[in-house]
């Protein structure tokens, strides 16, 4: 009877420590319409604002109406121009925008991620997977993948909380480079992003058929016909998940209702453009 009690106690201790090892990981996902990572002079300062907000729960930083580097968390509904990157100058659907947006190349929808453990469970960048979809008939923004072989970077940094297993206290280690297999307690990531690319390849992405404005109008008319289009993104780390979604809605003007059918035949040259 005594030996049985010892065995039962040993099993109980084992289960206790197994439970502690399992712990919890929280994944918070925040959509945001960002400057085009490829070519935008505002991308790097936008990313600084995004990471600062994501890590510290600061919400919006700046105003996108006046500053292309501003970070704003997207509401439940966004406009087509917030998910359109271009090889010609544009900002939020406006072709050849004025300063301070004159050198921008459109906007990409990024799903920022703040993931953190409970002080008991660590994870790595390579444990992270993502799954993005859009609800249009072709699922044109579909993108799934993982971070096997990727490194920590200025756009996705990992934080080890140190020996005390608590964030802060002076012993944290922040990784902005290095192998993605390094264990961390926290991951702050500007997020995977995707967008439609009005104009496609015909005849030249910088000078699309019908001109830049026609290419942007065509995207608007397509979303008007398909919409609303829901864009979703989910992340997984080990057995834990986080997800966010936004609706892309084109609100028709009276002239658009009359002319909308004219651009729909050209939507075949619309492509998506990703960033990770």
Query: In angstroms, rounded to a whole number, what is the distance separating the alpha carbons of residues 131 and 117?
Result: 21
Where residue 139 falls among pLDDT bands split at 50, 70, 90? very high
132 is written with which tokens?
Answer: 């993005």
- Give per-residue pLDDT as tens, 148-206: 999 999 999 999 999 999 999 899 999 999 999 999 999 999 999 999 998 766 667 77
Element housing 5 (H / E):
helix 2-22
> Considering the chain, what percentage of its residues have pLDDT values greater than 70?
84
Among the residue ranges 67-81, 129-143, 204-218, 245-259, the one predicted with the least confidence is: 245-259
| b/e sequence 155-184, b meaning 16+ C-beta within 10 Å | bbbbbbbeeeeebeeeeeeebeeeebebeb
Neighbours of 131 (CB within 10 A): 16
What pLDDT is attached to residue 157?
Answer: 97
What pLDDT is attached to residue 201?
Answer: 62
Contact 213, 87 (CB under 8 A): no
23 is written with which tokens?
Answer: 């712990």
What pLDDT is attached to residue 65?
Answer: 95
- Give per-residue pLDDT as tens, 43-81: 999 999 999 999 999 999 999 999 999 999 999 999 999
- Give per-residue pLDDT as tens, 96-109: 999 999 999 999 99
Delimit the domains of the chain by residue range.
24-275
Chain mean pLDDT for the chain: 86
Query: In angstroms, rounded to a whole number, what is the distance separating the alpha carbons of residues 210 and 123?
Result: 50
* Count of alpha carbons within 13 angstroms of residue 31, beta-carbon side: 25
Contact 75, 187 (CB under 8 A): no
């Amino acid at each position: 009877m005594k030996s049985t009690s010892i065995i039962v106690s040993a099993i109980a201790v084992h289960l206790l420590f197994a439970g502690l090892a399992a712990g919890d990981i929280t994944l918070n996902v925040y959509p945001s319409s960002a400057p085009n990572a490829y070519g935008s002079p505002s991308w790097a300062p936008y990313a600084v604002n995004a990471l600062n907000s994501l890590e510290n729960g600061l919400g919006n930083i700046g105003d996108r109406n006046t500053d292309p580097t501003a970070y704003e968390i997207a509401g439940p509904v966004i406009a087509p121009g917030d998910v359109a990157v271009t090889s010609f100058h544009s900002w939020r659907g406006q072709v050849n925008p004025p300063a301070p947006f004159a050198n921008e190349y459109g906007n990409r929808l990024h799903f920022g991620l703040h993931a953190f453990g409970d002080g008991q469970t660590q994870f790595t960048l390579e444990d992270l997977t993502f799954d993005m979809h859009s609800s249009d008939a072709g699922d044109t923004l579909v993108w799934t993948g993982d971070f096997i072989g990727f490194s920590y970077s200025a756009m996705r940094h990992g934080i080890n909380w140190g020996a005390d297993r608590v964030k802060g206290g002076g012993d944290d280690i922040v990784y902005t480079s290095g192998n993605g297999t390094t264990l961390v307690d926290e991951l702050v990531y500007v997020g995977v992003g995707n967008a439609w690319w009005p104009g496609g390849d015909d005849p030249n992405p910088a000078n699309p058929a019908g001109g830049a404005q026609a290419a942007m109008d065509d995207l608007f008319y397509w979303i008007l016909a398909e919409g609303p289009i829901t864009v979703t993104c989910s992340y997984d780390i080990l057995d834990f998940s986080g997800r966010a979604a936004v609706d892309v809605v084109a609100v028709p003007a009276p002239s658009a209702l009359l002319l909308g059918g004219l651009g729909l035949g050209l939507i075949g040259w619309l492509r998506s453009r990703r960033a990770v």
